[in-house]
Structure formats: C-alpha cells, structure tokens
Structure 1
Amino acid sequence: MFPDDFLFGTATASYQIEGAWNLSGKGENVWDRFTHTSPELIIDRSNGDVACDSYHKYEDDVVLLKKMGVQFYRFSLSWSRILPQGFAYKINPDGIRYYNNLINLLIKNNIIPLVTIFHWDTPQPLEDLGGFTNELMTDWFEDYARVVFENFGDRVKLWLTFNEPKQICLQGYGRNRNAPGYNSSGIGDYLCGHNLIKAHAKVYHLYDKEFRSKQNGNVSITIDLEWMEPGTNSTADREAAERSLAFSFGWYADPIFHPNGDYPEIMRKLVSERSKREGFRRSRLPQFTKEEVEYIKGTYDFLGLNHYTTFLGKDISEILTDGKPSVEKDSRTVTWQDPSWTASTSGWLKVVPWGFTKSLIWLNNRYQNVPIYITENGVSDHGEIDDQGRINYYKHYLSALLDAIHDHNVSVKAYTAWSLLDNFEWRDGYISRFGLHHVDFNDPGRKRTPKASAEYYRKVIAARKIDGID
C-alpha cells in the first residue's frame, strides 16, 4: 500500500503540448527556432507549432485528469508566453490569462497545480545574448519568477524552478541534442550549469524573502537521474559508476542538497587536473565562492526526481587528452545498456525497475533523508491504445518505488506519471509516445483517447496499491 498522504499525479511541458507558438502575443523560444531552422535534427522533421493544441484545449485536458482521479497536475509555464521578449518590462496579458484559467480550473476540480517555471524553452531574445552561459541570466530568471509568483502564487503552492538541468546544459550547450545545440562539451555545459544553479538559488531566496510568508508554498528543482550500475564488479568500474553519478546528478544536486554544498569533490578534482593537462590556465569548471556555496546550499523544500532507466558504467581512466574537452573525458567513464534489457521506442530507455529502487536508496543516503517527489516516470511506445507494455512498466516501477519506501525507509511523497498526453517528444518528434492518452495528430481537433494505461493508473490511484490491480 502507498502511504495515506502519498500523492499521485501526471505531467506535461508547455512546448510539448501547448502549440499556439506565435498566437496571442507569445514570443519565440529556442525550440521554435531550433525546429524551424534545423528540422532535419528532428526524426520526423516535426515541431511543436500546434502539438496537442492544449492552449485551446486545456479544458479537455482537465476533464482527462479528473477522470483518472489524479491529485495533482504538473505542468510548465512558457516563459515566452508570459514575457514575449524574455525581459519583465513587457508582460503578455493573454499568457497570464491562459495560465490563470488553467490553474483556476484545476483547483475547481480539486486538482493541485504543481508548476514548473522553466522546462527548456528559453526565450530566443535571451538566448541571442548567450542564454544560460551568460551570468546575467540569473537576474533575468529572477525577474521572470517574480512575475510568476505575483500572478499565480496565491493559488500555486508547489513550485519547481527548473526541469532537468542536465538536459538543458549537457544536451543543449554541451551537445546539439537539445536546443540551442551549441556543441560545447566541457565548457559551455559547465557555464550553463553554474549559472542555472545560481539562478535557482536566487529564485528560492526571492520566494523566501518576498512571498513565502503570504503564499505558504514550497519551492525546489527537479533533476533527472539515470541509475549507474558498475559494468563489472571490479573496483575501477564500481568507482567509475559512482563518478558517473557525481558528474550526471551530483553536478546539479550537490550544491543545493548536499550538507557540504558545492560541486562533488571528485568532479572538481578531475576537471581541474584534465584542464591543466589540456593547457587551460584554470579549470573549465567554474568555481563557487565560499559565499555562493552558503547562499546556494539548502535552497530546497523537497527534491524533485525524474527517473526512467538505468545504464552500466565502465572506467576509462587511460583515455588520452587528444581532441576537444568533454564531460565524458572529464568523468573518465563510458556508459551503455545491457542489450537483454527490455527496450522501448526511445533508444536510451530500457525497462530496468531495480535501478529505480537503487536510485532512491542512493539519494536517501547521499542527501540525508530528503523528502522526494517523483516528478516524472514513464515509458515510450508507438502510441498503442492497448498499451500493455506501459502498464507493465508502471507495475514494476511502482513496485520498485514501494520497495524503497517500505524496505529502505526512503521518504517519497509523490509520484508523477509521464505523460498525460502523447506529445512532441523533442528530437523524437511524434515517433515516440509517452502518453496515458493517445492524441491523433492527423486530426485538426487533436482528438484525445484514453489508453489502457490511463484506466490502470486510475485503479491504482483509487485503490492506493498495485497488488490485484489489472
């Protein structure tokens, strides 16, 4: 059984579902630019111009949420819909109205809004100034957050500043996997992470200072964790797996959640050593001042966790210094997945439930019993209505979650199934479908159809258990 106070929800992100990319005063964001100028980078050459058209169909979405019986709905705000130029001098009343209508409708239906302030869609005018490689982004993000708290904070009590900084920084600035696609691994991604962490802390302190006493909400950040299992039982590979966790999760989490603050020690050490060998005058990983370490440390009310899958890690400490810098070289690890693990339509996502339990135990130990909200968990397919593979995934991952709660005393407070709808799945376009509800993207009305998994999830929520639920 799930604890009595445990919350169940589902989630979406603005660019992936809203559409209306250039309507009602919305400005251009990096994913608009990325998909329009480089459609060849998207598997089916698609974009989020219309997506699920949730900008016009949000009422239908709330009906779906109500039928499933979820207690909360996690969605993100489009920065460009609220501030078309990115800067707070010009607020778009239609954007404010849209989110007010959605929030009010959720509350009317007894569904808690869990709001992500930023889910990857930087306003293009700010990206033109360097985006998260520009330290001024911390101020611009704080200005945006203040507008958000002022307009929605009287009703929204659960906030996430950022979704998955690793995907923003490592894949967007370090590689060209995500927008803006800078391909500056080992430099651009470290700059992005440094400024993003400071921006998160600034917004947390803003809320503490100006809004918490009146609004009584909770603020945190959500970080994605792929469990890293040693490729062999050798000491080198076990250390490599732990290093990989430090470089992929601790990078963003330790400055906020670790009792000591700052980046993981092994990360600081290895990047500094390698930078010196490569001829850099200083470490490519920026340093926090002592004052910044203290300012950032403890800026959370819970830990948001996205988890999908597991990898294997191997030590490559003998790697040469030739070639461009990269995070992979800094971490001295390579990762892969066991080909025998059950696959999904997403090349990176294998079904490995035991990795979920291990992830939660590791987090519990590293961050001293921090309360955890699972803010995304799910699996992709081709959009089948009778999606037994997704039901099987949820059964096993929810069972792994219960193992962590009951057998290892991990303090997990909520679970979020990704996603409410089939949607624009970034580089996969509309090929990979994560939704509990099928969306017909050939239908101008974007018809939604509940999948078998939506009914399964409804039963789990109603019974508050997974045993005996078909």
Structure 2
Amino acid sequence: MRITFSVALGLAVATQAQEIYLTTTGYTARPQCTKSTTSTSYHFKSFSYSLEETVRYATSIPSPTTTKTYGPVYKDAAKHLKTTVATSTWGNWLPGETVISATDHNDPYGQAAWSSMWLGADLQNYTTTGIFSTTVSPTPVPTSELVLPPRDYFGPTDCYNFPDDFIFGVAGSAAQIEGAVALEGRSPSLLEKIAPADTPKDYVTDENYFYYKQDIERLTAMGVEYYSFSIPWTRILPFVLPGTPVNKQAIDHYNDLINTVLDAGMQPVVTMLHFDSPLIFVASDSIARHPDIGNVNAGYQNETFVDAFVNYGKILLANFADRVPIWITFNEPLLYAFNFKGVDNVIHAHAQVYRFYHEELKATGKMSLKLNDNFGVPKNPKNASHVQAANRFNEMQLAFFANPIFLGKQYPDSILHTLSGAKALNKTELKYISQTADFFAIDPYTATVVSPADEGISACAANTSSSNSLFPYCVKQETKNVYGWNIGYRSESYVYITPTYFREYLSYLWNTFQSPVLVSEFGFPVWEESKKELSDQRFDSSRSVYYLSYMSEVLRAIHEDGVHVMGALAWSFIDNWEFGQPSHFGIQGVDSETQERFYKKSFFDLVDFVKARQ
C-alpha cells in the first residue's frame, strides 16, 4: 500500500473488492532535507559569463540485421480463407469528373459502382487536392533538427528503469493523418460525414498516405521503437462485404508501409478499425453531425457487421500477420457502440478474429482490442454512494467488454439491468469469447470525478425511456474535486494532467482484469497551441509535464505496485485531424500549406526520459 499527500480527494487505494481511503494533512516535507545551520556569507567576485548551451542530439534507431516472423506468409495464410476474392484496382474519385468517364455500369464492382458510393456520400466542400499525388521518397533528417531543447528546471527524480521488454512508441490513425480519402480505391467511411459543415475535414490532413516514408524517417531519427497505425477497411475492401474484390493498390501500399517500418528498425502495431467504419453500415438519417464523436451510430449493430468485419480481419491477417507483432481489432468501440447490440457484435467479431489468428494461422504475435475510459474517481471518497458511482462508471465502460473477453465472466449486472435489449451470454458463447486477448490495451488520457445522479443510481437506471441526460451511467461526471479544485492542469480538450490517478488506474486494470496493460494512447493538447507562433508551439512544456509525469507513474506502478505495464504509445506522433476540432495532440507539428514537419520539445523530452531508463 502506498501513501501520497493530497489536498484534494485524499488517497484512494483501490482493490478489486473494496475501496479504502486514507487522508493526511499539512504540506509535504522535502525528502531527506534538513534545515541549514551555517550562517550566510555574502561576498563579491569577478563576474564573467559562464553559461553555455549543452548540445545533445537524438539517437536514431539502427537498421535491423534480422526480421522476425510471427505467422505464415500470404500464400500459406490465404489457404485458411474460406472464400477467395479477386484483387482489383480503381482510380480516383474527382467531383464532376469520374462518374462521367466511367462506362462499366453493368459491373457491380466496377469504376462506376465505386464512384457512385462517393456521389451518394454527398460530401460538402470536398476536394482531393493535396501537395502529393504519389509516394514521396524519404530524405535524411538534418542533424540541426535533432538537437535537444533546453531542459525544464524541474523534472522527474525517480531511480527506476523500464523492463527490457517494455514497448515504447508513438501512435496515429489512418483517417486522422492519411488524407487521400477518395484516391486509389478507398470508399466512403463514417468520418467523411461526421464533422459539421463549417469545420475542417479529413480529405487532406497530413497527406501521410503519400508521405509515410518521410514520417517514418523522422520517427526513426528520434529513436522511436514502435509505430502504431491503422489500416482503413474501406481502402482494403471498397465494397466492404465478404466476397467483394480486394483493392490490390491498398494491399501493395500497406505491405510497403510495414516493410518500411521494419527496414527502419521499428516494429509495427496495427489497428484494424479506428473509428472509420464503412459508411454502408450507417443509415444516412442516423449520422450525428456533431463534433462529439461519442454520440455517433457507426453501424456496429448492423446485422451484417460481424461477418463483414471478420472477413476483413482475416484478409488483413492473411496478408500481413507474418511481419506484425501486435494487432488491435477495434479502437475505443464504446465511443461508437454504447448500445447493447453494438457492443455484443464487437465482442463476438473480435473473438472470431482472435481465434482465426492464433488457432488457424498459428500466429505467435499478440492481439487485443483497445478500450477507453476516463478513470472514474469518487468525488467524495468517504461517501459510499460516490464510491458506488465510480465503480459503476468504470464497470459499464470496461467490464462490459472485459468481463467476457479477459475473465470469461458474464456481462455486468449494471449492463444487463440497464441497457435496452441486453441479454446474458450463454455458456457456449462465454467459453468461446473467454481468453481472447493477450493484453489489456487502454487509452487512459485523464480522470473524471464521479458522483451519483441526484435521484440516485437505481431511480435513474429504472428510467428506461432515457429521458434523464445521465442515463445509462446515471452518474455525474465532473472535472473538479470535492473542494472545488480542478483535478489537474487543463488542456484545450477534456484532458487534465492527472498522473497519480493514472497510476491508480493501472493498478485497477491489472488487479481487476489480470492481464498485462498496454497504454495504447495517451496525450495532451496544449491550450490554443495552434494560435501560437512556431517557436512557442515547439516549446510545449505543459505537454512534457504530462508525458514525464505519466511515465514516472508507469515506473512506480511497475516497481512499487507490481503492475505489469507492457508498454506505452504516445498520441499522436504528429498534429492530425481531430474530427474537425482545433485541438492539437501532436508531439510533432505540421504546416498544412507545405506539409513541413517540426519536432516539439515534448517529443525530445519523452524519448530522452525513456532512453535514460532503459
């Protein structure tokens, strides 16, 4: 048990079965410090300027000498696909041009059929115009860009090291960085429809689809070891459903992307579905045009979704499983599927893909899905109803997925007794779904303060008409503690710097779901960063504080709490498209007019922190 000072909520030491809270008072004493007893002596001396800049450089990743394999190559893996599908290529969809020129109207999977999906998407202000139209060859990063920035005065004081097998890297997602949305065969996804008409779209973003080799060069030069990215379903299978043609250009592209990562000395982490659900699953009248992506119907409850996703997952694995050590099936599905049918479909689809990967392909890498939950902490830890509210909040967001997948346990009662249409898994389903994840992937950006609905949780949950805005969680979520203080330093978005809660969160996950924890995303958007001058954007000390404090707590969780934290991936490796919002999460910036990249101080600080402790 650990004891830390808190003027806010006191200390919450959580166990799986109960919550125990200790409080303390007074200011924290300096460690190992005694008051000086010597008298002060003032004096003059000859003055000269003595400070000089200490020049240090980032250390790049060396090129590999061998490449490890994790599964069969495509020609052998393809034998496990029940149906064979033709590979095809399509051109680009350019408004007002492509449909007119297409003549293959009788081909259900031809250019005209593909173009009609974009015509029907009714995109506003759509343009495919970017700087690049083909893959850009990389150039070495100049040494002048790799000089480390001045250190902050205060920094971590720990003396721990990361385990030898600790995974450290950065993350991004296709829809948020690639651009080229209607080029080389990609068909529409939900994200081309989600952002309000007056906000930026994902049509160009960082042009990573053509610029990926230079982005990888920049990551390698900084010493990054793992690169997490996603592959768009609608680029691999433009017509989405089983039996439809595979896009050969997409297969070739991601083969080259993966090989480029490996040749650079890094390891790929691949996500199959990162928000960009195919548009065909979603009825046009059910799409919420609102920047809050947490209230969007992504079609996960569609009757054809499970079979279609499993087919897509098998195609990805057949093509790429031999070289990819870590796979994620779904990214944060709760944001798009907080209804029973949607989550139930996600869980069943994930389990099928997992078993195909390990049981049929006999692959030796690791696979999971990654969840999201701003860790719920009780507003008043001495109030049992607040503790109950925090437990319910975390349970409904995590145990909904994790009970059956990690523990082979039934859906929580809070789900079965609250969500419309909820039904228990039968014994056969539980056995099949159980133990279908190799690690617990979580995106734990921040914490949230939780207390019950005014009328109480039970009364709120009984209101199945959902007229209460707090339904179905039936708890209040706040960012101030019981004494009125913010729970941490505030970003431009929902993220607050809450490192001690983060450490407790890691302990909660490890001890509750009993699986190694991968911090698959964490990051901090500096307040109004985009409005600052370039030099001020680069010197992002508040983001450095976020990363270094969180990573310090990772070390403490490992060495003091016995938590198996297998790694951490920083979000995002570059400023990207945040669903039309101005928030910048990147540890690199980008000039949208020239696509020129620049490193930020936080990138150097984070890498330097990890490398010094390996």
Given that residues 70 and 461 in structure 1 are in contact (C-alpha distance below 8 angstroms), is that contact kept between their aligned partners in structure 2? no
Given that residues 69 and 461 in structure 1 are in contact (C-alpha distance below 8 angstroms), is that contact kept between their aligned partners in structure 2? no
Task: State the SS of the aligned residue for 1:141.
Answer: helix
Q: Per-residue deviation at 1:427?
A: 4.6
- Within 2, Cα distance between the matches of 1:253 and 1:352? 24
- Within 2, Cα distance between the matches of 1:91 and 1:326? 45
**Structure with max Cα Rg:** 2
Q: Per-residue deviation at 1:143?
A: 0.4
Match of 2:359 among 198, 209, 218: 209
- Within 1, Cα distance between the matches of 2:173 and 2:317? 19
Q: Does 1:25 align with 2:185?
A: yes
- Within 2, Cα distance between the matches of 1:25 and 1:373? 33
Q: Does 1:164 align with 2:332?
A: yes
| Cα displacement string for residues 116-135 of structure 1 (whole angstroms, at most 9, x for unaligned residues) | 01101011123349821123
The corresponding residue for 1:174 is none
Match of 1:74 among 228, 239, 242: 228
- Structure 1 314/427 Cα, relative in aligned 2: closer, same or farther at 3 Å? farther
Q: Per-residue deviation at 1:461?
A: 3.1
If the length of structure 1 is used for normalisation, what is the TM-score? 0.86
The corresponding residue for 1:349 is 495
- Within 1, Cα distance between the matches of 2:543 and 2:352? 38
- Within 2, Cα distance between the matches of 1:419 and 1:34? 21
Q: CA RMSD in A?
A: 1.9
- Structure 1 324/265 Cα, relative in aligned 2: closer, same or farther at 3 Å? closer
The corresponding residue for 2:209 is 55
Given that residues 220 and 300 in structure 1 are in contact (C-alpha distance below 8 angstroms), is that contact kept between their aligned partners in structure 2? yes
Match of 2:376 among 228, 236, 253: 228
Q: Does 1:34 align with 2:194?
A: yes
The corresponding residue for 1:194 is 344
Given that residues 281 and 302 in structure 2 are in contact (C-alpha distance below 8 angstroms), is that contact kept between their aligned partners in structure 1? no
Which amino acid counterpart does residue 380 of structure 1 have in structure 2? Answer: P
Which amino acid counterpart does residue 31 of structure 1 have in structure 2? Answer: L
The corresponding residue for 1:143 is 311
Which amino acid counterpart does residue 101 of structure 1 have in structure 2? Answer: D
- Within 1, Cα distance between the matches of 2:227 and 2:359? 27
Q: Does 1:99 align with 2:254?
A: yes
Q: Per-residue deviation at 1:29?
A: 0.6
- Within 2, Cα distance between the matches of 1:95 and 1:23? 10
- Within 2, Cα distance between the matches of 1:394 and 1:73? 17
- Within 2, Cα distance between the matches of 1:440 and 1:326? 44
If the length of structure 2 is used for normalisation, what is the TM-score? 0.66
Q: Per-residue deviation at 1:357?
A: 0.7
Given that residues 52 and 423 in structure 1 are in contact (C-alpha distance below 8 angstroms), is that contact kept between their aligned partners in structure 2? yes
- Within 2, Cα distance between the matches of 1:378 and 1:265? 33
- Within 2, Cα distance between the matches of 1:367 and 1:462? 30
The corresponding residue for 1:185 is none
Given that residues 523 and 546 in structure 2 are in contact (C-alpha distance below 8 angstroms), is that contact kept between their aligned partners in structure 1? yes
The corresponding residue for 1:375 is 520
Given that residues 178 and 204 in structure 2 are in contact (C-alpha distance below 8 angstroms), is that contact kept between their aligned partners in structure 1? yes
Moved more, 419-428 or 99-108: 419-428
- Within 2, Cα distance between the matches of 1:81 and 1:252? 28
- Within 2, Cα distance between the matches of 1:229 and 1:240? 9
- Structure 1 190/141 Cα, relative in aligned 2: closer, same or farther at 3 Å? same
- Structure 1 97/323 Cα, relative in aligned 2: closer, same or farther at 3 Å? same
Given that residues 200 and 580 in structure 2 are in contact (C-alpha distance below 8 angstroms), is that contact kept between their aligned partners in structure 1? no
Which amino acid counterpart does residue 255 of structure 1 have in structure 2? Answer: P
Q: Per-residue deviation at 1:400?
A: 1.4
| Cα displacement string for residues 277-299 of structure 1 (whole angstroms, at most 9, x for unaligned residues) | xxxxxx53243222112211110
The corresponding residue for 2:16 is none
Task: State the SS of the aligned residue for 2:520.
Answer: strand
- Structure 1 219/325 Cα, relative in aligned 2: closer, same or farther at 3 Å? farther
| Cα displacement string for residues 313-348 of structure 1 (whole angstroms, at most 9, x for unaligned residues) | 1112244738536794233311111152311011x2
Higher relative helix content: 1
The corresponding residue for 2:162 is 2
Q: Per-residue deviation at 1:225?
A: 2.5
- Within 1, Cα distance between the matches of 2:466 and 2:236? 39
Given that residues 345 and 432 in structure 1 are in contact (C-alpha distance below 8 angstroms), is that contact kept between their aligned partners in structure 2? yes
The corresponding residue for 2:474 is 332
User: Which residues of 2 match residues 408-427 of structure 1 at below 5 A?
Assistant: 408-427=561-580
Which amino acid counterpart does residue 172 of structure 2 have in structure 1? Answer: T
Q: Does 1:433 align with 2:578?
A: no
Given that residues 225 and 359 in structure 1 are in contact (C-alpha distance below 8 angstroms), is that contact kept between their aligned partners in structure 2? no
The corresponding residue for 2:409 is 261
- Within 1, Cα distance between the matches of 2:468 and 2:305? 24
The corresponding residue for 2:153 is none
Given that residues 68 and 457 in structure 1 are in contact (C-alpha distance below 8 angstroms), is that contact kept between their aligned partners in structure 2? no
- Percent identical: 31
Task: State the SS of the aligned residue for 2:573.
Answer: coil
Given that residues 166 and 252 in structure 1 are in contact (C-alpha distance below 8 angstroms), is that contact kept between their aligned partners in structure 2? no
Which amino acid counterpart does residue 32 of structure 1 have in structure 2? Answer: E
What are the ranges of 5 or more consecutive residues in structure 1 without an aligned counterpart? 171-188, 273-282, 466-470
The corresponding residue for 1:180 is none
User: Which residues of 2 match residues 280-291 of structure 1 at below 5 A?
Assistant: 283-291=420-428
| Cα displacement string for residues 247-294 of structure 1 (whole angstroms, at most 9, x for unaligned residues) | 122122222112x422123332x317xxxxxxxxxx532432221122
- Within 1, Cα distance between the matches of 2:450 and 2:352? 34
What are the ranges of 5 or more consecutive residues in structure 2 without an aligned counterpart? 1-160, 285-297, 531-536
- Within 2, Cα distance between the matches of 1:436 and 1:60? 16
The corresponding residue for 2:396 is 247
Task: State the SS of the aligned residue for 2:418.
Answer: helix
The corresponding residue for 2:237 is 83
Moved more, 68-77 or 323-332: 323-332
Given that residues 174 and 232 in structure 2 are in contact (C-alpha distance below 8 angstroms), is that contact kept between their aligned partners in structure 1? yes
